Amino acid sequence: MTAKEYLSRYLAANREIDALLDQRQQLWDTITRVTTTLHSDTVQGGQPVSASEALSNFMDLENMIFEKITALTVIMLEVEQTIHTVDDDKHRQILRLRYIGGKTFEEIADIMHYSWRQICRIHGDALQSIRMS
């Protein structure tokens, strides 16, 4: 795995956590929705799910999501710690802005008052200084 791939895991983990939390919220919204209208002509197949069974299923899913989020958080912390080991402040700042902040090279150049080309060059140097564990 290259340094760039290693560091890119932070934003990927963050996106996955957001997706898991959205999934959890959608499920919660579904099981807590109350329908106030009865339709006598509606035919339902299968057995209805009881509220306690739905809540139990939700809790199982929530525990699974919590375990996944915990594992993804470990990845994020590893990337943070790896960036923290970089000695040069400028390199560290560029890596943080790029791989933790999700900034483009143009945005980083604007923030740091460098040209886009300088940021690309410094970024390459910064990647060379990464020591992956």
Give 65-89 pLDDT, tens digit per residue.
999 999 999 999 999 999 999 999 9
Rg (CA), the chain: 23
Instruction: Report which residue type is found at 16.
Output: E
pLDDT at 33: 75
pTM above 0.75?
Answer: yes
pLDDT at 30: 79
Q: What is the pLDDT of residues 97-119, one digit of tens each?
A: 999 999 999 999 999 999 999 99
Handedness of CA 39, 40, 43, 44 (dihedral sign): positive
State the Cα–Cα distance between residues 94 and 96, nearest whole angstrom.
5
Q: How confident is the model at residue 37 (pLDDT cuts 50, 70, 90)?
A: very low
